[in-house]
Amino acid sequence: MTNRFQSDTDDTPKLNKTVPLIELRNCTMEFPGVRALDNVNFTLMPGESHGLVGENGAGKSTLSKCITGEYRMTKGELFVEGQKIKLSSYSIKESQNLGIQIVHQEFQLMSEMTGLENIFIGHYSRKGGLIDWKALNNKAKELMDFLQCDVNLNIPVHYLRTAEKQIIQLAKAVQSKSKVLILDELTSVLQEKDIQNIFRIIDILKKRGMGIIYISHRLNEIFECCDSYTVLCDGRHINSGNVSDIDQQKLIKMIIGRELTQVYPSINADFGDIMLEVKGLTAPKAFKNIDFYVRSGEVIGLAGLVGAGKTELIQAIFGVHPVISGKIFVKGKEVKIKNPWHAIQLGLGYVPDDRRSLGLILKFDIKENTILPSMNKFKKMRFFQDHKAEAKAAFDINEKLGLNYYSLFQEVETLSGGNQQKIVIAKWMLQNSQIFLLDEPTRGIDVGAKFEIYKLIKDLTKQGKSVIIVSPELEELIGLCNRIYIIYEGMIMDTVEGERKRQEVIIHSLLGVNGK
């Protein structure tokens, strides 16, 4: 039986080992108010596995989206196999025709369809107008042999394990004539032995002459499966080179060792009583036995990788995510928080990570959004809303936060990310919340606005409020928090404060490498 996937000797005449598969020159990508990529160069050779590293928000995903055509870069040139690409008409569809495929960490599979259907969706073999299942089955078998994997392709994919679903995603990406494969944090949801399997597959694909762009937070993976690396920081190209020339320490330095672009206000050190304490909080599949506390005037941070359970933890405290055991104390009193309304009455305020879909009502104006949780405070004649008082309160709080706007009746949709975030925080300040739960408060906002949010957090603590921050940016947590809890796979691995509040210490626990 001839296997069209294994014929790596005679069936690869087009492969030219000297022409780069992908070449990006001076790529700049601007979003309103943010420069996500700034003059980045990137080259990928056939048979190369290229690690793309950097902190969250450094521009890794943006870069890969420029390559796949999901974003159209503002400036710069893209060459695919030496051919200059006309950017004005470049699209995902065209990049796929050129053989560029991307696999995301989130599953993009139809969960009710079988693995077979998922792999070949859109390119079914046909016979007389009908789908030729026999041919597809054979093709799938060849493909699985080639990848040396054994996954049941005949059951709906939602029955499969996470790792098996990833194999299906990979198989889907390599089944067509793909030449470039972008793996975007593919392993962040996988366990060690499954990761090894992915590495094995990457090796097979490399031998076939494919180019792999490997994006990961786990630096040891870069050393295990990449030939070369590119480091990005705040959208700038820091360095590229061969992995064999560097070691992990050097790489970490490149990723984090930079002049401080963000300045943090000094951390408040004047604490009061414990405001919120959590003991043994457990929610199945999210987190286990969580203990922490926060005092008035204090900022604590929750650090962890994607999927570590940070957001679920915050939501559990706010009464959104169900818990099965554990206790929550607010100001020393044990409470059972059943729903957000209850949490708000206890003085909690929640700033969600996705402000557009969870924090704001985009079609509403600034005033309505600002007063939403505290509507009941503005009454006249017991039943009626006092619109004037509402507007005045919204005006006062937003002026205090230095919001950029022209009218209180402007829809929040028209505001920039930083200004939108100010409104989500203003909501809780107006409601006079005592404990602020901030989930990635600076996500997707530019440096200037970030600093204003930091100042705001500092002001809150000065007024004796407590703040809990979740952030993927370690530097931010170190700069803002009195104490940082590091969560790994739903459990607190380590708590750092004072002397130990250093990036190296945190990274170790973050990756589960044991920090104690």
Partner 1 sequence: MSTFEEKSKRYGKSWRSFIRDWIMLFLLIALVVIFSITLSTFRTSDNLMNILRQTAFTAIIAMGEFFVILIGQMDMSISSTIGMVSIFFAGFVVKMGMPIWIAIILVLLMSALAGLINGILVVYGKMPSFIATLVTMNIIKGINYLYSRGLPISGLPDGFNFLGSGYIGIVPFPVILMFIVAIILFIITAHTAVGRSFYAVGGNLEASKLSGINVVFVSILAFVFSGVLSGVGALGLTAKTLSGNVSLGENLLFDVMTIVVLGGTSLTGGRGRIFGVVIGALFLQVISNAMVLMGINTYWQWVVKGIILIIVVLIDSNTKREVVTTSQKARIASVEEK
In the complex, what is the shortest distance from the CB of residue 219 to partner 1, in angstroms, rounded to a whole number? 36
Q: Is residue 290 near partner 1 by the rule CB under 8 A? A: no
What is the CA 17 to chain-centroid distance, rounded? 34
Q: Is residue 123 near partner 1 by the rule CB under 8 A? A: no
CB atoms within 10 A of CB 511: 18
CB atoms within 10 A of CB 119: 28
Residue nearer to partner 1 on the CB measure, 126 or 379? 379
| Token pair 């599953």 in the structure block, residue | 107
Q: Where are the alpha helices (DSSP H) in 176-228?
A: 192-207, 219-225
Closest CA to 313 of 468, 510, 503, 496: 468
- Lay out the sheet containing 483-488: strands in order across: 348-351, 435-439, 466-470, 299-303, 483-488, 491-497
In the complex, what is the shortest distance from the CB of residue 431 to partner 1, in angstroms, rounded to a whole number? 8
Q: Where are the alpha helices (DSSP H) in 229-359?
A: 248-256, 310-317, 340-345
Q: Is residue 387 near partner 1 by the rule CB under 8 A? A: yes
Q: Is residue 418 near partner 1 by the rule CB under 8 A? A: no
SS3 content of the chain, % helix, strand, coil (to 5): 35, 25, 35
In the complex, what is the shortest distance from the CB of residue 410 to partner 1, in angstroms, rounded to a whole number? 8
Q: Is residue 447 near partner 1 by the rule CB under 8 A? A: no
Q: Is residue 432 near partner 1 by the rule CB under 8 A? A: no
Please give the Cα distance from 398 to 460 (Å, whole number).
Answer: 15
Closest CA to 186 of 203, 206, 209, 162: 162
DSSP 296-313: TT-EEEEE--TTSSHHHH
DSSP 373-394: GGGGGSEETTTEE-HHHHHHHH
Looking at residues 66 to 85 of the shown chain, list those that interact with partner 1 (rule: CB under 8 A). none
Which of 70-78, 261-269, 373-381, 475-483 is the region at the interface with partner 1 (rule: CB under 8 A)? 373-381
Residue nearer to partner 1 on the CB measure, 142 or 411? 411
Q: Which of 88, 128, 384, 499 binds partner 1 (CB under 8 A)?
A: 384
In the complex, what is the shortest distance from the CB of residue 395 to partner 1, in angstroms, rounded to a whole number? 5
Alpha carbon separation from 202 to 8, 174, 177, 470 (Å, rounded) = 15, 11, 16, 33
In the complex, what is the shortest distance from the CB of residue 388 to partner 1, in angstroms, rounded to a whole number? 9
Q: Is residue 446 near partner 1 by the rule CB under 8 A? A: no
Q: Which of 85, 335, 362, 505 binds partner 1 (CB under 8 A)?
A: 362
Which of 54-62, 166-174, 274-282, 379-387 is the region at the interface with partner 1 (rule: CB under 8 A)? 379-387
Q: Is residue 336 near partner 1 by the rule CB under 8 A? A: no
Q: Is residue 159 near partner 1 by the rule CB under 8 A? A: no
Which of 72-80, 179-187, 285-293, 375-383 is the region at the interface with partner 1 (rule: CB under 8 A)? 375-383
β-bridge mates for residue 127, sequence order = 130
Q: Is residue 17 near partner 1 by the rule CB under 8 A? A: no
Closest CA to 485 of 298, 354, 353: 298
Alpha carbon separation from 265 to 9, 214, 453, 498 (Å, rounded) = 61, 36, 10, 16
Looking at residues 312 to 331 of the shown chain, list those that interact with partner 1 (rule: CB under 8 A). 318, 320
Q: Which of 15, 246, 274, 372 binds partner 1 (CB under 8 A)?
A: 372
Q: How many CA atoms lie within 13 A of 140 on its CB side?
A: 26
Q: Which of 1, 88, 407, 499 binds partner 1 (CB under 8 A)?
A: 407
- Three-state secondary-structure class, residue 98: coil
Q: Is residue 121 near partner 1 by the rule CB under 8 A? A: no
Q: Which of 79, 199, 329, 364 binds partner 1 (CB under 8 A)?
A: 364
Q: Is residue 417 near partner 1 by the rule CB under 8 A? A: no
Those residues whose C-beta lies under 8 Å from the C-beta of residue 408, and which sit 6 or more positions away, are 365, 366, 367, 391, 394, 395, 398
Residue type present at position 98: L
Which of 17-25, 109-117, 188-196, 383-391 is the region at the interface with partner 1 (rule: CB under 8 A)? 383-391
Q: How many residues bind partner 1 (CB under 8 A)?
A: 44
- Helix orientation angle between 447-462 and 417-430, rounded to the nearest 10 degrees: 10
In the complex, what is the shortest distance from the CB of residue 433 to partner 1, in angstroms, rounded to a whole number? 11
Which of 46-54, 287-295, 324-332, 406-414 is the region at the interface with partner 1 (rule: CB under 8 A)? 406-414
Q: Is residue 189 near partner 1 by the rule CB under 8 A? A: no
Q: Is residue 359 near partner 1 by the rule CB under 8 A? A: yes
Residue nearer to partner 1 on the CB measure, 110 or 361? 361
Q: Is residue 441 near partner 1 by the rule CB under 8 A? A: no
Q: Which of 99, 340, 464, 512 binds partner 1 (CB under 8 A)?
A: 340
Contacting positions for partner 1 (CB under 8 A)? 318, 320, 339-341, 343-345, 350, 352, 357-364, 368, 372-373, 375-376, 379, 383-385, 387, 391-392, 395, 399, 404-411, 413-414, 416, 427
